[in-house]
Amino acid sequence: MTNRVVITGLGVVAPNAVGIENFTEALRLGISGIEFYQELKDLNFSCQIGGIPTISEDLKSQYFSELQLRGFNSSGILYGCIAGIDAWKNAGFSVSDDSELDIDTGLIFGTGTSGVEKFREAIYKLDDKQVRRLGSTVVVQTMASGVSAYLSGMLGLGNQVTTNSSACSTGTEAILMGYNRIKSGNAKRMLVGSCSDHGPYVWGGFDAMRVCTYKHNETPEQGSRPMSASASGFVPGSGAGALLLESLDSASERNATIYAEVLGGEVNSGGQRNGGTLTAPNPEAVQRCIKQAIKNSGLNKNDIQVINGHLTATSKDALEIENWSKSLNREGSDFPYINATKSMIGHCLAAAGAIESVASVLQLHHQFVASNLNCEDLHPEITSIVAKEKIPSNSFNFNFDIIAKASFGFGDVNACVLFKRFKA
């Protein structure tokens, strides 16, 4: 079967905004969600800034019961459930504890870690002889599939329900997994996305690896600098993004709003060969992923008009631009417009692909190209490939049909998806 797959619902919990309307405005205005955190300074972190979504107690109560909240301490699951429920409602569906089982809808919601803070809290005062006292909520909050377990139960989903985990590629990969299930006729709808916890016990390892910036603790909003010559490492972030994918037939039957069409994509690995390592991409594999994603989508290289890059504000940004240029055989003023959502929200780790895919779809749906913050001093190896005007410092309205979103993750794994402005 060859069902067309469209996007009928969106949800987002990002450091610079919570909710689709607020996030769209933040993208248009170039609002940063990066802040200084005293806790990180007190723990002697080199990088003392980060991106944490603002979730009030009142907002929590709109999604969770008092019983759920009493045993709940996983920020990633919290973010994922809020984004997922928002996408579900945004698509025109309701949430009810006694709803009938929906066997036509499944869920693929990824994460990298889950409930690290909860697990630390549970074991902090226990020795090996007391491990049975960890508590009854530890399992569901610390297992990787905790977010899909919570979210599918809240919505009563009866098709495939699973959690994927592929580092920074997780969210983009989840979209393609859901897309393939609908396209093959095995589901009518798939709620897809990813989430990531926040906090020192998640971010500490990256700080120890010296991949996070330490130069902007006094100027946090200037810290995330993708494509900049003065970039000094990424800013850690957290949150969640969610998209409701649906067959075109199903969406048309219920007269749903359609944000965009998913044309296809590709997932692969560089195998940590030919320059690829745990932390660096194999350029050949990245280029192969992009080229195959375009082919799988029925497009050609000249159809790509806008790119939402992975672009983490590390030394690999210039290599990513080079890989895009070689994959598309385009450079200079012929290169597509490109932006980096991470300039506003930092690197949200496993949630990055989903949040940035939501950003890509919103740009396509509302016909604008979002700005890039903090890249006034473009890296010279980038400006030698891409004309400066193709890396906008201010958002602008633009009439376009195709946007590409790619994610390149720890472990030399890659994912690329193509979205198209919907036309019946």
Q: Rounded to whole angstroms, how far apart are CA atoms 341 and 348?
A: 10
Cα–Cα separations (whole angstroms), residue 248 to 80, 179, 185, 244: 25, 12, 12, 12
Domain boundary among 239, 260, 281: 260
In the chain, how many domains are there?
2
Q: Are residues 78 and 224 in the same domain?
A: yes
289 plus 320 within the same structural domain: yes
Both tokens of 35, joined, read 């802040």
Domain identity same for 272 and 247: no
Same domain? 318 vs 232: no
> pLDDT of 229-239, one tens digit each?
999 999 999 99
Mean pLDDT of 322-349: 98
Instruction: Inform me whether the pLDDT recorded for 129 exceeds 70.
Output: no
The Cα–Cα gap between 32 and 16 comes to 6
Q: What is the pLDDT of residue 67?
A: 80
Regarding whether 310 and 247 lie in a shared domain, the answer is no
Average pLDDT over residues 266-271: 98
Tell me the average pLDDT across 61-81.
86
pLDDT value of position 126:
54
Rounded CA separation 71/307 (Å): 41
pTM of the predicted model as reported, rounded to 2 decimal places = 0.96
Q: In whole angstroms, what is the distance from residue 22 CA to residue 382 CA?
A: 31
Domain co-membership, 52 together with 9: yes
Residues 144 and 283 in one domain: no
One domain, residues 223 and 364 = no
Identify whether residues 172 and 57 lie together within a single domain.
yes
- What SS3 class is residue 312? coil
Whether the Cβ atoms of residue 49 and residue 235 lie closer than 8 Å to each other = yes
Confidence of residue 162 (pLDDT cuts 50, 70, 90): very high
Residues 247 and 188 in one domain: yes
Q: Is 123's pLDDT higher than 70?
A: no
Q: Which of 226, 241, 260 is the last residue of a domain?
A: 260
CATH assignment at residue 343: 3.40.47.10
Domain of residue 346, residue span: 265-420
Q: Report pLDDT digits (tens) over 78-113.
A: 999 999 999 999 999 999 988 999 999 999 999 988
Q: What is the pLDDT of residue 121?
A: 62
Same domain, 233 and 272: no
- The answer to whether 163 and 109 have CB atoms below 8 angstroms apart is yes
Of 242, 260, 278, which residue sits at a domain end?
260
Tell me, yes or no, whether 60 and 83 share the same domain. Answer: yes
Name the pLDDT band for 135 (thresholds 50, 70, 90). Answer: low
